Chain A
């Protein structure tokens, strides 16, 4: 079984400040990790993904995440946020099992304040 924990349900941050959204996972097999973003009244879109190789993954809109196997974490970071980054962010894990189901975390609402 696999699971994802997003430790912060809400993260308020001022514009141009850095932000880190935390994600921890558990799985008994190799994992593939994703961050999705949901803007208000929209569906989810992929921000970035880790499949293998370099543990630092760069995504769209200036976001990046680092895979840390020993800490079973995949935290999302951005050095300087904009008002337009206000959205809900979901971490998800897919295992190397046969079905490769995606399991989502409960989400983190990022609110960027002027």
Chain B
């Protein structure tokens, strides 16, 4: 079984709809991240969480919100989706006690299309 899972894997929605993307991990890591990937732009950080009570904005948080329901679960919401939020979204985890200095482990991604 995969250590980091994302649901759904693909989603098509309409402008103005509320969407939630979910991420679960079995690695036991405290830190979790949400990125979006756009062609030619690489991965950009949306939000990150160092533990259940700690949520931080990343580079491109406008239009997004997150919820850390438990150590193992981190959800990303688009309150009112717009077409330029069409992208591939990745969840990742890392272990702060690991001496690998923030090596991150990625889920398989969610492809979101906003029409």
The interface of chain A, by Cβ under 8 A from chain B, is: 4, 6, 9, 32, 34, 36, 42-46, 49, 51, 90, 94, 96, 99-102, 104-107
Chain B contacts of A45 at CB under 8 A? 106
**Complex CA–CA separation, A43 to B88 (angstroms):** 10
Q: Which residues of A contact B101 (CB under 8 A)?
A: 32, 51, 94, 96, 100
Does B34 interact with chain A (Cβ within 8 Å)? no
* Known A-B contacts A42-B108, A43-B109, A44-B90; A104 and B103 likewise in contact (beta carbons under 8 Å): no
CA distance A42 to B45 in the complex (A): 18
Are A107 and B42 neighbours in the complex by a CB distance under 8 Å?
Answer: yes
Size bracket of the B interface: 20 to 34
Known contacts A43-B108, A43-B109; A49 and B103 CB within 8 A of each other: yes
Q: In the complex, are the beta carbons of B102 and A100 less than 8 A apart?
A: yes
Mark contacts of B31-47 with chain A using CB atoms, 8 A cut-off: 1 yes-contact digit, 0 otherwise. Answer: 00001000011111100
B26 contacts partner chain A, Cβ-Cβ < 8 Å: no
Whole-angstrom distance between the alpha carbons of A9 and B99 in the complex? 31
Chain B: which residue is nearest A51 at the CB level?
Answer: B101
Which of these, B48, B90, B102, contacts A32 with CB under 8 Å? B102
Distance between Cα atoms of A45 and B90 in the complex (Å): 12
| B40 near A49: Cβ-Cβ < 8 Å | no
Q: Are A94 and B102 in contact (CB under 8 A)?
A: yes
Given A43-B108, A43-B109, A104 and B43 contact (CB-CB distance below 8 Å): yes
A46–B100 CA distance with the chains assembled, in angstroms: 12
Cα distance, A34 to B101, chains bound together (Å): 10
7 A-B residue pairs with Cβ-Cβ distance under 8 Å, sorted by A, are: A9-B40, A43-B109, A44-B90, A94-B101, A96-B101, A100-B101, A102-B45
Chain B residue with the shortest CB-CB distance to A50:
B101
User: Which partner residue on chain B sits nearest A91 by CB separation?
Assistant: B42
Give bound CA distance, A32 to B106, whole Å. 18
Known: A32-B102, A51-B101, A94-B102. A106 touches B107 (CB 8 A): no
